[in-house]
């Protein structure tokens, strides 16, 4: 399963992570550096397992912890209406 | 080998409206 931004959602990487702008609702969201790395991997075509592996490779984290927290983030992104399945 | 950045829990925070 791969992911894309919902229509009218814009993504801007920043020095500390990133910002998502929902132009439909006027809300904006911030992501920290690890969340931004996950989103970037997802938008590049990775599935959740791939994004997890990417994050574990980029950051000094316990793979077991990363494997729990990445799906939680994706669920949050989906629940907020920011990403949808391709 | 490059040192990895410290891991922190990925967070999504609603920051406001524009």
CB contact at 8 A, A13 and A40: yes
CATH 1.10.3470 fits A3-85, yes or no: no
Which single residue is written with the structure tokens 């997802």?
A42
Is residue A80 packed enough to be buried (19+ CB in 10 Å), middle (13-18) or exposed (0-12)? middle
Nearest CA in chain A to B5: A59
Q: Which of B7, B15, B16 sits opposite A59 (nearest CB)?
A: B7
pLDDT of residue B3: 63
Query: CA torsion, points A62, A67, A73, A78, in degrees to nearest 10?
Result: 170
- Subunit contact A65:B7, Cβ cutoff 8 A: yes
Q: Spell out the domain ranges in chain A.
A: 3-85
Residue A82 has pLDDT above 60, yes or no: yes
Chain B environment of A35 (Cβ under 8 Å):
10-12
Q: How does pLDDT run across A41-73, given as a tens digit for each residue?
A: 999 999 999 999 989 998 989 889 999 999 999
**Partner-chain residue, chosen from B3, B5, B15, that has the shortest CB–CB distance to A30:** B15
B window 1-18, beta carbon within 8 A of A? 3-18
């Amino acid at each position: 399963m791969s992911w894309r931004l919902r229509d009218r959602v814009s993504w801007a990487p920043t020095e500390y992570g990133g910002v998502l702008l929902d132009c439909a609702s006027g809300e904006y969201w911030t992501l920290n550096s690890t969340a931004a790395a996950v989103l970037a991997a997802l938008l590049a075509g990775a599935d959740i397992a791939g994004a997890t592996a990417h994050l574990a490779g980029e950051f000094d984290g316990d793979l077991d912890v990363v494997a729990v927290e990445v799906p939680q983030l994706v669920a949050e992104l989906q629940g907020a209406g920011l990403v949808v399945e391709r | 080998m490059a040192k990895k950045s410290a891991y922190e829990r990925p967070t999504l925070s609603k920051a406001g409206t524009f």
